[in-house]
Amino acid sequence: MRPGRQLFAAVFTLLLVACGGGDDPPPNPPAPPGPYSYWNETAVRKVLHTFAYGGHASDNQIRIWARMHPRDAIQQILTFDRTNPWLSPPEDTVGTVNGSLRAMQELWGDNTNPDNLHRDDVKQYYAFLALNPTTSMTYVEAGRLQNTWTGSINKHGVNPFRQKIGLFLTNYHMAVSFHKVRPQLIRSMYDKILDALEAGEPFENVLAIGATSPAVAMQYGHMYNSYNNTALRFYGNDDFAREFHQLFFRILGADFSQDYHENTTIEHTAWALTGMRIDRDPAYWGSDNTNDYWTDMIVYTDHRDAENTLLNNYTNHHWNNLEILGTTISGNTAQEKIQALAQIAVNQRESLDEMPIFIINFLADDNLTAEKIAEIRALWRSIQPKNLLTFLQEYAISGTFHRSDTWKYKTAFARNLAIYNLNTVNNEDAYARTYFPTGVMTRQGASVFAPAHDVFGGQTSINAANNPDIFKDAYNLAVDASWAIYLHTATFQRHGSTVVWNKDWALVIPRNADGIFTVDEVGEWLWQRFVADGLKNYGPLERAYVNAFLATGIDLGMLFDATNPDAPISTAMLNSEPYKTYLKAYAETVLTLDSSYQPHRLNANLNVGLAVNFISATPFVFAMEGR
């Protein structure tokens, strides 16, 4: 029951030839004619795959969006609300309570809360506090926060677009890591910046919230920076002073002399980042570990914290005005100065040019031509104040995105999470399964809240495309751990009661005009769901393999020659007898997804899972190409 190795190797070779193995972009044909002529169901699915890990919208909702004016549709598809009823219709209260990362972790890790529908044996993997069996002391465990974020992606009722942007901002744009920062501080930062986006705050304000967070202060160590206002001496490092401009706002100082940028802008920004000691409180998180006593609060006055430690955050802050980026920056605290500086930085020429390119290059397009770069920059400059949601909505429906020369290789995040998401039929499905792609993504170089390149951010799409080990690992997973996708029945305990779960693909797979599920039609639907290419790459070989799994549950190579299942299969062979007759029979087979006889129904669901497993390992899920 393994995916056909010969098809896998052959198609991947063709993909590498066409796309240059992740180095050379495809050629640049002209932009599409006419406004929004490209807007159709496939275009909607490309938006969902690119920005929301595929989303949870029904086929009917996708058809409705395809027939709406794109601007009206995108305002429903992409929102920063905690719950988006169009993109991710809620099925129950689970996972939608508050919608914050903290609320989800507290709910899913609580074994006593009746609203927690997770399996009893899984809840421990979400719990905020872990127990050290050696010391019998509790501590905050980072892996549980990673599982919570990952688990939010396939829960109906949780907005996957919001979650994707949250990960982008924390793992890439602000690049905080639990290797340097306590995970609860990252969680607080994550929730605060997303709440600010939901409230419609200008993007510079969102970045300022991150820049003044305890997580960033701990990451770069400027929580210990101080300024002696009598001796006029600074004590500390300028690490984040540099990254505030370079990482947060993409400013390298090209508009000023090197001496001015280093000795005035960077140095004075370091002075602004003084008086930022973080409060500690042994009871704040409920952890016994003294490393967890750091709270998510910076109080900018001279005060004593819960440990009775004197924190001179006013006395040790640089009191006077500062000159940064050629502008006078005022404020009585680090928070006020950084907030004021953010308003200046976001409108610097370098930031105006590079910020939007960084965002779009990460999210949507690895082939940014000069023409597209100019269009993206013009769009960003036209938005005042700088609203990230407006920018992404306008880009997502633009001809700049919906071009045949748009090409996006997928990070291990984007690929694994889309498969994880789209393989989930409903919340009962999500809660019944035990598979977490967290470990798989980490093994493939993408770790939640632990950027692969430290302050330079996580794994990029080009990193992923040029790493043959990722492709090998994904293939081995599809062959050796295919249960992770095709699991279709389970018995488990929930709040002490026995629950039997059976996968039900009939809830989402459409029947044909005769009210039945034929293999060939189901195969096309699955390909469009997981690849979203309008069947452009669903060729005779792909169709033959998918149909074989759906009709029989057996790999095509095994069906054609059980003594040599790895023998190459060509399109010419598919058109010759007896194979042509076999394939016709497979295509016309009726799937018993709605059978009243449970063994038939379960077997049909298993076969769909095997087909999905095969599709998930083909090269076409490793990248998203344009129309």
pLDDT digits (tens, 9 = 90+) for 511-540: 999 999 999 999 999 999 999 999 999 999
What's the mean pLDDT when you consider all of the chain? 91
Instruction: Please tell me the predicted confidence (pLDDT) of residue 593.
Output: 97
pLDDT digits (tens, 9 = 90+) for 539-596: 999 999 999 999 999 999 999 989 998 888 999 999 999 999 999 999 999 999 999 9
Contact in structure between 336 and 211 (CB atoms under 8 Å): no
Instruction: Please tell me the predicted confidence (pLDDT) of residue 374.
Output: 98
Q: Within 13 Å of residue 113, how many CA atoms lie on the same side as its CB?
A: 18
Q: Tell me if residue 12 falls in helix, strand or coil.
A: helix
Q: Which of 318, 101, 307, 298 is nearest to 193 (CA)?
A: 101
pLDDT > 90: percent of the chain: 83
Question: What Rg value do the Cα atoms of the chain yield, rounded?
Answer: 26
> Is it the case that residue 28 has pLDDT exceeding 60?
no
Instruction: Please tell me the predicted confidence (pLDDT) of residue 547.
Output: 98
Contact in structure between 169 and 208 (CB atoms under 8 Å): no
Q: How is residue 26 annotated by DSSP?
A: P
Contact in structure between 362 and 414 (CB atoms under 8 Å): no
Mean pLDDT calculated for residue range 206-218: 98
Instruction: Please tell me the predicted confidence (pLDDT) of residue 34.
Output: 58
Q: Within 13 Å of residue 239, how many CA atoms lie on the same side as its CB?
A: 14
pLDDT digits (tens, 9 = 90+) for 265-307: 999 999 999 999 999 999 999 999 999 999 999 999 999 999 9
Model confidence at 73, pLDDT cuts 50, 70, 90, reads: very high
In angstroms, the CA 312 to CA 369 distance is 51
Handedness of CA 363, 365, 369, 371 (dihedral sign): negative
pLDDT digits (tens, 9 = 90+) for 408-453: 999 999 999 999 999 999 999 999 988 889 989 999 999 999 988 7
> Is it the case that residue 17 has pLDDT exceeding 70?
no
Model confidence at 479, pLDDT cuts 50, 70, 90, reads: confident
Neighbours of 434 (CB within 10 A): 14
Taking each continuous run of H as one helix and of E as one strand, the counts in the chain are: 29, 14
In angstroms, the CA 246 to CA 266 distance is 10
- 358-361 contact pairs (CB < 8 A, 24+): 358/173, 358/250, 359/168, 359/173, 359/388, 359/391, 359/392, 360/395
3-state secondary structure 506-572: HHCCCCCCCCCEEHHHHHHHHHHHHHCCCCCCCCHHHHHHHHHHHHHCCCHHHHHCCCCCCCCCCHH
Pairing of the two strands 327-329 and 226-228: unpaired
Q: Tell me if residue 25 falls in helix, strand or coil.
A: coil
Which of 568 and 605 is assigned the larger pLDDT? Answer: 605
Instruction: Please tell me the predicted confidence (pLDDT) of residue 456.
Output: 72
Instruction: Please tell me the predicted confidence (pLDDT) of residue 22.
Output: 42
Instruction: Please tell me the predicted confidence (pLDDT) of residue 130.
Output: 96
pTM beyond 0.85: the answer is: yes
In angstroms, the CA 17 to CA 14 distance is 5
Mean pLDDT calculated for residue range 477-497: 89
Instruction: Please tell me the predicted confidence (pLDDT) of residue 405.
Output: 95
- Alpha-carbon 318 to chain mean position: 39
CA distances from 404 to 371, 374, 376, 626 (A): 14, 18, 17, 4
pLDDT digits (tens, 9 = 90+) for 226-268: 999 999 999 999 999 999 999 999 999 999 999 999 999 999 9
Q: Counting beta carbons within 10 angstroms of the beta carbon of residue 304, is it exposed (0 to 12), middle (13 to 18) or buried (19 or more)?
A: exposed
CA distances from 178 to 104, 454, 469 (A): 19, 10, 25
pLDDT digits (tens, 9 = 90+) for 362-385: 999 999 999 999 999 999 999 999
Contact in structure between 275 and 226 (CB atoms under 8 Å): yes
pLDDT digits (tens, 9 = 90+) for 449-478: 998 877 777 788 888 888 888 888 888 888
Mean pLDDT calculated for residue range 205-212: 98
Dump strand ranges (E) for 326-385: 327-329
Mean pLDDT calculated for residue range 146-154: 95
CA distances from 350 to 71, 249, 372 (A): 29, 8, 17
Q: How is residue 4 annotated by DSSP?
A: P
